[in-house]
Structure 1
Amino acid sequence: MSTKNIIDQNTKTKISIGSFALESGGTLPDVELAYERFGPKDAPVVLICHALTGNQYTIGSSESPGWWYGLVGDNCPIDTTHFQVITFNVLGGCHGSTGPASFNHLTQDTYRLDFPKITIRDMVHAQYKALQKLEIYEVHAIAGGSLGGMQTFEWGLLYPNFMKQLFVLAATPYLSDYGIAFNHIGARAIQDDPAFNKGNYDKNEQLQGFELARMTGMVTYRSGKIFQKRFDRSHNESHYDIQSYMDYQGEKIKERFDANSYLYLLESMNNHDISRGRGTLQNVAKQFQAQLYTISFQHDLLYPKELIEDFSADVPNSQHHHVQTDYGHDGFLVEFDQWGLWIQEKINQGVVNNHDN
Structure 2
Amino acid sequence: MSEYIQHDQQGSSVGRVEKRTYTFARPPAAMRLECGATLGPVTLAYETCGRLNEDRSNAILILHALSGDAHVAGTYTDSDDKPGWWDFMVGPGKGIDSDRHFVICTNILGSCMGSTGPASIDPTTGKPYGLSFPVVTIADMVDAQKQLMDHLGVHRLHAVIGGSVGGMQALEWSVRYPDRVESAVLLATTTRHSALAIAFNEVARQAIMADPKWNGGDYHDGEKPDLGLAVARMIGHITYLSDESMRLKFGRRLQDKADFSFNFDADFQVESYLRHQGRKFVDRFDANAFLYITKAADYFDLERQYGEGSAVAAFSGARARFLVLSFTSDWLYPTYQSRTMVKAMKKNGLDVSFCEIEAQWGHDAFLLPSDRLSAIMKGFLDGDNDQ
TM-score normalized with structure 1 length: 0.94
Tell me the equivalent position of 1:80: 98
Displacement of 1:234 in angstroms is 2.1
Q: Determine if the alignment matches structure 1 residue 10 to structure 2 residue 23.
A: no
Map 1:116-195 to 2 at 5 A.
Answer: 116-195=134-213
Q: Determine if the alignment matches structure 1 residue 45 to structure 2 residue 59.
A: yes
Q: What is the alpha-carbon distance in structure 1 between the residues aligned to residue 18 and residue 357 of structure 2?
A: 35
**Structure 1 residues 299 and 6: CA distance shift in structure 2, 3 A:** closer
Per mean C-alpha deviation after superposition, the further-off stretch among 309-318 and 207-216 is: 309-318
Q: Percent identity between the aligned chains? A: 34
Displacement of 1:338 in angstroms is 2.7
Tell me the equivalent position of 1:226: 245
Q: Determine if the alignment matches structure 1 residue 282 to structure 2 residue 278.
A: no
| Residue in structure 2 matching 1:28, options 26, 39, 52 | 39
Q: What is the alpha-carbon distance in structure 2 between the residues aligned to residue 122 and residue 289 of structure 1?
A: 21
- Structure 1 unaligned spans of 5+: none
- Aligned 8 A contact 1:297 1:323 in 2: yes
Q: Determine if the alignment matches structure 1 residue 306 to structure 2 residue 320.
A: no
Displacement of 1:24 in angstroms is 1.3
Per mean C-alpha deviation after superposition, the further-off stretch among 107-116 and 238-247 is: 238-247
Displacement of 1:102 in angstroms is 0.4
Q: Determine if the alignment matches structure 1 residue 101 to structure 2 residue 119.
A: yes
Displacement of 1:135 in angstroms is 1.4
- Aligned 8 A contact 2:112 2:285 in 1: yes
Q: What SS does the corresponding residue of 1:139 show, helix, strand or coil?
A: coil
Q: What is the alpha-carbon distance in structure 2 between the residues aligned to residue 317 and residue 46 of structure 1?
A: 19
Residues 167-193 of structure 1 show CA distances to partners (whole Å, capped at 9, x for unaligned) of 010111111111000000000000011
For residue 211 of structure 1, what is the amino acid of its counterpart? A
- Structure 2 unaligned spans of 5+: 1-6, 262-266
Displacement of 1:276 in angstroms is 2.1
- Aligned 8 A contact 1:6 1:40 in 2: no
- Aligned 8 A contact 1:17 1:133 in 2: no
Q: What SS does the corresponding residue of 1:346 show, helix, strand or coil?
A: helix
Q: What is the alpha-carbon distance in structure 2 between the residues aligned to residue 173 and residue 6 of structure 1?
A: 32
Q: What is the alpha-carbon distance in structure 1 between the residues aligned to residue 99 and residue 52 of structure 2?
A: 10
Per mean C-alpha deviation after superposition, the further-off stretch among 235-244 and 85-94 is: 235-244
Question: How many residues are aligned here?
Answer: 351
Q: What SS does the corresponding residue of 1:294 show, helix, strand or coil?
A: strand
Q: What SS does the corresponding residue of 2:158 show, helix, strand or coil?
A: strand
For residue 143 of structure 1, what is the amino acid of its counterpart? I
Displacement of 1:333 in angstroms is 0.5
Residues 42-86 of structure 1 show CA distances to partners (whole Å, capped at 9, x for unaligned) of 271110000000011111326221111111112211011111100
Q: In angstroms, what is the RMSD of aligned CA positions?
A: 1.7
**Structure 1 residues 77 and 270: CA distance shift in structure 2, 3 A:** same
**Structure 1 residues 77 and 311: CA distance shift in structure 2, 3 A:** same
Displacement of 1:218 in angstroms is 1.0
